[in-house]
Amino acid sequence: MAQFDVYRNANAATRASIPYLLDVQSDLLEPIATRVVVPLCKPEVLGGKLAERLNPLFEIEGRKAVMLTPELAGVSAKILGERICSLSSQRPAIIAALDLLFTGI
């Protein structure tokens, strides 16, 4: 597991609207049994109401996915589904969204 890895949402109840989870936890905390993740949803879930910096848009498996930054959560690493890709190349946008959430800047 690595920071900015994307996992398939293993929860059948939410997978249709939130197909992916983005791991935002530092690699230094790898031994911890939990991971901090941010849901990545289909754009239509937000009804076109994107706050560009708070909700960056990514492309995963040829589909658009929006970062639901305010809905981040700690989850057991065991519940993460299949690793799909890494968004490490999108680090500036991810960190900017988290900075806005935590510091307002």
State the fold for domain 5-103: SH3 type barrels. (2.30.30)
CA distances from 55 to 5, 10, 12, 28, 75 (A): 17, 22, 23, 25, 21
Taking the model in full, what pTM does it have?
0.95
User: CA nearest 69: which of 47, 27, 32, 99?
Assistant: 99
What is the domain partition of the chain in residue ranges?
5-103
- Asked if 7 contacts 20 with a C-beta cutoff of 8 angstroms, the reply is yes
- Asked if 22 contacts 4 with a C-beta cutoff of 8 angstroms, the reply is yes
Amino acid in the structure at residue 82: E
What is the per-residue pLDDT across 47-75, written as a single tens digit (0 to 9) for each?
877 788 999 999 999 999 999 999 999 99
